[in-house]
Amino acid sequence: MRQKQASPPQDVPLEPLVVAGQAETTAASVTLPFAESTQVLARPQSITALWVEDEYNELEEEQHHLWEASGIAASEPMAATAAQSQLAAAELTGIVHAHKTVVEGAQERLVRTATVLAPFRRRAKGMKLWYQAAKCGLLIGDVAGFATAAMWLGELPFIAMTLATSAAVATIAAGLIGVDVRDREQRRQRAAAVPEPSDAQREFPHLFTHDMGGGVLRRMLLVALVTAGTIGVGIAALRSVVDDPLVGLIFGGIALAVAGGSFLVSYAGADEVADLLEHAQADYTRVVAEHVQLSSHAQVRDFAAAETSAESIAAEHTARGRAAAARVRSFKWGILRRNPSHAGHGPAATAIGQTPRRSGGDA
């Protein structure tokens, strides 16, 4: 019967805890041959270091290297992850630092705008939405009046709705000229209140200068009136065909009223100072949101987390290596303590002016 051959020994990596345990077991059994007997002995000056001390000095040094290698192996996955995202994280970090100047610029503009223009604000914050809602109501009403008349006349619903929407938008747009009228009026009021603008106010020259001409505005008003009148006449004629002429006249008047209502709503809600303040606030909010998004990018977070984890693992193993080395060093002191015939019970008394010598390679 053939004997089973023993398999060759496998290469097993040195584990720091296993090596330290083996050193402790070995140290407990080390006994030096008996040399002499006495009550209390000082370490002989003729012996620099025993071989066993050199042995355990090397074992102590081995613990440092083993734990360092173990730390490198344990932190390798995190170190690799950090290396993969390092370039992207570095680029994003540079972009974040550069983008900070944009945030600071937006903040400076917001503060400067609010400081200079806040006293001249007329429209309350949040009221612009209500004025826009009022215009939407006028638009819907005008669409309904024109579209129903066109469909009643026999027009296809899609065409009727398209024409009605176009006419309603034109009617509302004709009334938007009220914004320019109100802006000119407020500029006149500010110019009268501040005849000599300060240096900060001169950064907004259009707000404190009153244009006495008004030729362009008059022409725009004329175009708006013609537009509103044309739409009103068209709706009146359309309703007169499908209904009574009086009804057509009423609906034509309603179309003109929609244009007038749009003008009044635009005039009442116009405040270019409030618009500038809200725009500055919106710009600052947008820039801050972009900055936060860049600074919290996944690449930056992943790199920071992986790098911190790798450093933490390496630091932990370094500390464990120091602790293991100190423990191996204590084994050496234990061997010497149990063998006073060779190492004495302690170092010899030191003469004045001399430095006491520590035995072995205790570093």
Digit-by-digit pLDDT tens for the chain (363 residues) are 333 333 333 444 456 666 666 666 776 676 655 555 546 667 777 777 788 888 888 888 888 888 888 888 888 888 888 888 888 888 888 989 999 999 999 999 999 989 988 888 888 888 888 888 888 888 888 788 778 777 877 778 888 888 888 888 888 888 888 888 888 888 888 888 888 888 888 888 888 877 656 677 778 888 888 888 887 787 778 777 777 778 778 777 877 888 888 888 888 888 888 889 999 999 999 999 999 998 888 888 888 888 899 999 999 999 998 998 888 888 888 888 888 777 776 776 665 555 555 544 443
- Give the integer Cα–Cα distance in Å for 108 and 287: 12
pLDDT at 11: 43
pLDDT at 235: 76
Radius of gyration of the chain (CA): 46
pLDDT at 36: 52
pLDDT at 145: 74
CA distances from 216 to 18, 212, 237 (A): 93, 11, 32
pLDDT at 30: 64
Output the six-digit token pair for 289.
């949101």
pLDDT at 108: 93
* Paired strand residues for 346: 42
In degrees, to the nearest 5, what angle opens at C-alpha 356 toward C-alphas 350 and 361? 145
pLDDT at 10: 41
Output the six-digit token pair for 268.
């009442």
Distance of CA 30 to the CA centre of its chain: 62
Q: Would you say 39 and 346 are in contact if contact means Cβ atoms under 8 Å apart?
A: no
pTM above the 0.85 mark? no
* 356 φ, ψ (degrees, to nearest 5): -60, 140
pLDDT at 289: 94
* Paired strand residues for 42: 346
